Chain A
Amino acid sequence: MKRSLLLAALVLVSHSVVAKDWDKIRFATEGAYPPFNSTAPDGSVQGFDVDIGNALCAEMKAECTWVKQEWDGMIPALMSRKFDAISASMSITAERKKKVDFTDKYYATPLALVAKKGSPLRPELASLKGKRIGVQRGTVADNFAGHFWADHGVDLVRYAKQEEVYLDLGAGRIDATWVDALEADGGFLTKPAGAEYDFAGSQVFGRNAEEKAVIGEGVGIAIRKRDADLRDKLNTALKAIRANGTYDEIRKKYFPHDIYGE
């Protein structure tokens, strides 16, 4: 009943033809994860993920358009064909690979605990028991904390956006946040709002096989499983921009150190 009503009432839909030769690609990003992706005051998206996506398209001689998508609905929207590729710092994990495919990684980041400077907290269960830890819902950090900490006495608070976590961290509502280290560095710790905060303890790439399985193998671009040709094109383009220095140029804009990992 509701579906037919929807069809009848939808005067505002737009038709789009899926380009099989991939000269037009629709990229999606979140727009709330600086410095990887964020929204400028005029509404456009910017950031490392966006620059990489544009560079890949330039290499593939394709025309790319960008769509903003809430993180919660990222993968379902990809599967519903709202766009063709996700460049939103999405980690390659076994769980996600059940639904979508990934290109090769284009950077890797460990997870880290961010808290007030001098905080005694460490990314271990013993240290975090009884503490309130903020994560963004649906991220690797959320999966990790949910898997290893949540049912063991750690108060896990889930937010829709990482930026909201920082707001509450600054306000003192949570004791720490568990987040991608690179994003915390570029998006919070190096900004005025993050002046009194720092990493607490070491950064975690995965201390055993179980943790590694949850954290994943780096960050890649997600595409639908049936679009293997797009994935191959993106991989070729990725190798090319890494070889010809475009990748390093983009990286230097945002990060002083290499972020690709091994």
Chain B
Amino acid sequence: MIEWAVITENLPEYAAGLWLTLQLTVLSLVAGLLLAVPLAVLRTAGPLVVSRMVWAYSYFFRGTPMLVQLLLVYYGLGQFEWVQARWAEGNGFWLIFREPYGCALVTFALNTCAYTTEIIAGALRATPHGEIEAAQACGMSRLTVIRRILVPGALRRAIPAYSNEAIFMLHGTAIASTITLVDLTGAARNAYSQHFAPFEAFIFAGLIYMCVTFALVGLFRLAERRWLGHLQPRKAGSVKA
């Protein structure tokens, strides 16, 4: 028998949790994407040293679990006395890391930026050479070629892979509940702990996640139709192209 009370009594918390999840997802995706474009350009077209540095950053963030990154930032940084001193002083930059919200945003943004950088870099490398030649024939400078031809083309090509990354990010924000943030998963855990009802608490949260996922998938399909209509059907099945 379904204990509806578990859901109805905690509905405000679920709603607030959903709002927090959406904030974390959208803000980190946007920040990650904005940072990823210049990083991807540096990765593919920059000097070797810089390209290697970007590779190292992306290797670290893609090679370690986001959960561990989050705990490293939240509990790890908090252990150092000089960080605590900065907090006591009121130092604006370090205060970001005092709040679990700030820690989560920074970690998620850095993480998604690493993946997005690789996606866009791959798309940049897949630019048909003819486009670059034509741009150079038109007399465009290197920067102009990057700005007007390479990046827009790469962004288009990256949409399918990026849509997967966006969904991973939406699901990934669930770990914010481990550093006391009451996002959608956090609300479910509170509901479970108060009522001892795992099915009601978690299935309800799962259903909400599914709805948001479908909305996100739909949004990306619209984006593909608008910007990628000219390409044939892409290969199904690869999670990170």
Contact = CB atoms under 8 A, between A and B. Distances in A.
**Are chains A and B touching in the complex at the 8 Å CB cutoff?**
yes
Interface of A: 72, 75-76, 79, 99, 137-138, 157-160, 164, 167-168, 170-173
B143 to A, nearest CB: 45
Nearest to B178: A160
Contacts, number: 43
Nearest to A171: B78
Among B84, B193, B198, residue most surrounded by chain A Cβ atoms (within 10 Å): B193
Interface range on chain B (Cβ under 8 Å from partner): 20 to 34
A110 to B, nearest CB: 23
A172 B180 contact: no
A39 B98 CA distance: 28
A167 B99 CA distance: 14
Given A157-B180, A159-B180, A173-B98, A168 B193 contact: no
B31 to A, nearest CB: 23
Contacts of A173: 78, 98-100
A162 to B, nearest CB: 13
B196 A76 contact: yes
A158 B87 contact: no
Contacts of A137: 189-190, 193
B57 interface: no
Contact of B87 (A75, A167, A172): A172
B8 interface: no
Nearest to A76: B196
B193 A72 contact: yes
Contacts of A72: 189, 192-193
A171 B79 contact: yes
